[in-house]
Amino acid sequence: MSLVDKYGGKPVKAVIEHVRDGSTVKALLLPDYYHITLAISGIRCPGFKQDGAEPFADQAKYFVESRLLQRDVEVILESANNTQFVGSILHPKGNIAEALLNEGFARCVDWSMNHVKNDKHKLYLAEKAAKDKRLHLWKDYVPAKPSEELTGTVVEIASADAIIVRMANGETKKVFLSSIRPPPREKRPLGEDGKPPARAKDFRPLYDIPWMFEAREFLRKKLIGKPVKVVVDYVQPARDNYPEKTCCTVTVGKVNIAEAMVSKGFATVVRYRQNDDQRSSLYNDLLVAESKAEKSGNGLHAKKDVPLQRIRDVSTDPAAAKSHLQSLKRAREMKAVVEFVTSGSRLKLFVPKEYCLITFLLAGVKCPRAARITPGTGGMEAEPYGEEALAFTRKFCFQKDVDVQVENMESKGSGFIGWLFIDGVNLSVALVEEGLAEVSNFIEQGEHLKALKAAEERAKAKKAGIWKDRVEVEVEPEEKREEERAPAERKIDYQEVVVSEVTDELHVYTQKVDQKAALESLLSRLRQEIDANPPLAGAYTPKKGDLAIAKFTEDDEWYRVKVEKVAGTNVSVFYIDYGNREVITSTKVAAMPAGFAGEKPFATENTLAIVALPKDEDDKKAAIQAFREDTITGKPLLLNIEYRTAGVPAITLVDPTSKEDIVKALVADGFLICTQGRDRKLKDLREEYRKAEKEARDNHRNIWQYGDITDDDAKEFGVGR
């Protein structure tokens, strides 16, 4: 058993028999009479070398001799190496290390400071006092002057040791807190190959590194939105794929944030070589704070189990998000933290009450989309004022404490829909007021509708944001004239058709059943002609507007097409007998054989009467998918032309077996919207559709699950008949 273990860090009586230099002595331990060489922990005094003594070595040695030589003292053994012990010497009048530092006869040294058991901070304070007085070793000491001083407002906590500050000129700057390290990742045992195992794909540093979340929250609550003073201490050059870092001392009021972090145990102090001046201008204060944190067992220095943040991320998991819906709705108003802003109206929140991360969509408004990167496509461009809306929302609430009220969820997705407030201000209303959002068509009557409408009117009056160049669209004169020419009674003249294609705009292509044989005959003759006279590859150069033939990708058969666009070797074609489109290579397009261009296309383009698609993109997709499932079946349907718009028939479709109006059924299921109109001949039909729509609203089906729609909204979708 070593003497360090034997005495267990307890004071041992001793007599100092020899002083080699100010920080090294020989002592006799009592009562067992052990002779040891002892280096005083935490400090180093000038020494004696073969070529002479270092400055102040004699004075430091005399200072110790005059106080300790042949005196009874107490020694605390703290460590040992091959040649000597490391420990503290306690005189009745105090710690000799502290006295040496106070007089400027010693420096603090990090390697042995780690062994000091008690009152480490007093040693740092003693050294600082000697520096300030320019005593002995510090007679030529010149404190490092900050290279730059800045002031600004903290707008983001980038990590547990970095913040982003907005300067007075509007520019932002990322700065790192000088001389501290954030909570480290836990060391993982090496695998059989000698390398640490790969981290899980869902590893989240903020939540999965012990004390990282607490450190970030400490900075967020202290700094976000607060004015700070930034003193640049040094610039750490780029290395090992890490960019250059501007390291600073940041103070809010009179509080050094790095010192506060260290004192809470949320960061540790970087140790430097003795002659390295690239450090915090208040480095000693950091060391003192760390010493106190160690003594108190704060944060990273705690002896108890490390806290783990078991925060569930339901922001991309619809099923998990749905399980939280009822509890979030019942809570009405909850505290939350804005962790990320995707667009002006879409955010990611941390909800402490549920201990989860959620996607949150602002209720009552439609916001322009910001630019975003999408894998494989290079990204999507921002809509007008989308970036401005994103910037406004970030400035308004990013990383701030907010209050939220959850009303409902997305029909498809994991987003919660509701209201967000900060200091009593409704973010939805604030966006509308700035002209960065418009009031949604789907907002139900409620306490916030009046405020939203009033804000929108003010924004329109100011021509703010999206209203700057917006022109209200009136009913086209041609439509008015066509309406006046329409007959007084509805005419029913059913045609038996099959639906061959439905576009993303809900245009419906149909083929008449009685023309099926003619189409099959045409295609048979066309393919016989191609077999007899195969087209030569590269002999035909397609041009926009040409009638040609093309090989359909799905079955590799030839069909009649119209060329719509040519881009290099890619050709966009429209299959005139079916209504579908695709992009193929030019080698799959050939000239139309003689005698086949004269027959009219077998597919007719139509729109649906009295109805329109919802505005929301997800709702549009759901409506189109439902319509396709009900109509593209190969079975005959009964088509009636109700009116024409710009020459295109607007139709209704009826199932001949069940006699069900397919379009009206989709309105009743909450997929489509009934439009406004004044055509007398469609009064009864429109009334049936409105009853179907009311049924969907009352039962909150699909697009109506978030609320009602006002009469004015029909203009947003186009006026029907």
Q: What are 578-623's pLDDT values in tens digits?
A: 999 999 998 899 888 877 877 888 999 999 998 988 888 888 899 9
Rounded to the nearest 10 degrees, the angle between the axes of helix 120-133 and helix 283-296 is: 160
Answer whether 357's CB lies under 8 Å from 349's CB: yes
Q: Which two tokens stand for residue 437?
A: 């959002």
Verify that 349 and 417 share a domain, yes or no.
yes
Q: How far apart are CA 447 and CA 250, in angstroms?
A: 44
In a domain, 306, yes or no: no
Residue finishing a domain among 602, 621, 652: 602
> Would residue 597 count as lying in a domain?
yes
**Quick one: pLDDT at residue 711?**
42
Q: What pLDDT, on the 0 to 100 scale, is given for residue 284?
A: 81
Taking only the tens place, the pLDDT of each residue in 264-280 is: 999 999 888 766 778 88
Mean confidence (pLDDT) of the chain: 84
Phi-psi region of 556 (alpha: psi -120 to 50; beta: other; left: phi over 0): left
Q: In this structure, what are the phi and psi dihedrals at residue 259, rounded to the nearest 5 degrees? A: -65, -40
- Asked whether residue 193 is assigned to any structural domain, the reply reads no
pLDDT value at position 474? 44
Between 377 and 560, name the one with better pLDDT: 560
Question: Out of 446-455, 496-505, 569-578, which region has the weakest mean confidence (pLDDT)?
Answer: 446-455
The CATH number for 513's domain is 2.30.30.140
Alpha carbons 198 and 220: distance in angstroms, whole number = 30
Whether 595 and 608 share a structural domain: no
Cα 351–Cα 353–Cα 357 angle in degrees, nearest 5: 25
pLDDT of 464 reads 87
In a domain, 718, yes or no: no
Measured CA to CA, the distance from residue 4 to residue 407 in angstroms comes to: 66
Give the per-residue pLDDT at 373: 64
Cα–Cα distance, 255 to 253 (Å, whole number): 6
Co-location of 19 and 128 in the same domain: yes
Q: Does residue 47 sit within a domain?
A: yes
Are residue 327 and residue 405 in the same domain, yes or no? yes
Label residue 171 by pLDDT band (50, 70, 90): confident
Give the pLDDT score at 374.
54
Element (H, E) at 14: strand 12-21
pLDDT bracket for residue 362 (50, 70, 90): very high
Q: Are residues 584 and 699 in the same domain?
A: no
Q: What is the pLDDT of residues 387-405, one digit of tens each?
A: 999 999 999 999 999 999 9
Tokens of 148: 């730059």
Q: Is residue 481 part of a domain?
A: no
Between CA 273 and CA 265 the distance in angstroms is 23
Q: pLDDT tens digit string along 294-323?
A: 888 888 888 877 767 778 888 888 888 888
Instruction: Encode pLDDT of 525-539 as tens digits.
Output: 999 988 888 887 777
User: Is the domain of 119 the same as that of 178?
Assistant: no
Q: What is the pLDDT of residue 559?
A: 93
Split at pLDDT 50, 70, 90, the class of 144 is low
Point out the domain boundary residue: 301, 327, 344: 301
Q: In this predicted model, what pLDDT tens digit does every residue of 73-95 receive, in sequence order? A: 999 988 887 778 988 998 888 88
Same domain? 597 vs 609:
no
**% residues pLDDT > 90 (the chain):** 36
Tell the burial category of 636 from Cβ atoms under 10 Å away from its Cβ (0-12, 13-18, 19+).
Answer: middle
Q: Which residues of 21-58 are buried (b: 16+ CB within 10 A; e: fewer)?
A: bbbbbebbbeeeebebebbbbbbbbbeeeeeeeeebbe
CB 57, CB 21: distance < 8 Å: yes
Residue 714 has pLDDT above 50, yes or no: no
Residue range 15-38: mean pLDDT, rounded: 90
Residue 25, pLDDT score: 92
Q: Each residue of 93-116: pLDDT tens digit?
A: 888 999 999 999 998 887 777 778
Alpha-carbon gap, residue 341 to 407, rounded angstroms: 20
Q: Please give the distance of CA 709 from its chain centroid, rounded to a whole number.
A: 32
Residues 545 and 445 reside in one and the same domain: no
Instruction: Indicate whether 19 and 131 sit together in one domain.
Output: yes
* Residue owning tokens 């029913």: 492
400 domain-assigned: yes
Residues 320 and 463 in one domain: yes
**Assigned token pair, 618:** 């997800």
For residues 23 and 10, give the distance between their C-alpha atoms in angstroms, rounded to a whole number: 20
The CA-atom distances, in angstroms, between 196 and each of 188, 210, 241 are 6, 19, 20
CATH code where residue 396 lies: 2.40.50.90
Rg, the chain, Cα only: 40
User: Is the previous residue joined to 11 through a cis bond, with omega within 30 degrees of 0?
Assistant: no
Contacts by residues 691-694 (CB-CB < 8 Å, ≥ 24 positions apart): 692/664, 692/665, 692/667, 692/668, 693/667, 693/668
The Cα 104–Cα 98 span in angstroms is 10
User: Which structural domain, as residue segments, surrounds residue 99?
Assistant: 3-138
217 and 325 co-located in one domain? no
Residues 6+ apart with CB under 8 A from 84: 24, 36, 37, 38, 39
**What would the pLDDT profile of 655-712 be if each residue is shown by its tens digit?**
998 899 999 999 999 899 888 776 778 888 989 999 999 888 888 888 887 666 444 4
Our count of domains for the chain comes to 5
Same-domain status, 613 and 593: no
- Assign 522 to helix, strand or coil: helix
Per-residue DSSP letter, 643:
E
- Does some domain include residue 191? no
Please, which pLDDT band fits residue 186 given cuts at 50, 70 and 90?
confident
- Three-state secondary structure call for residue 348: strand
User: Which of the listed residues 442, 467, 492 is the one where a domain comes to its end?
Assistant: 467
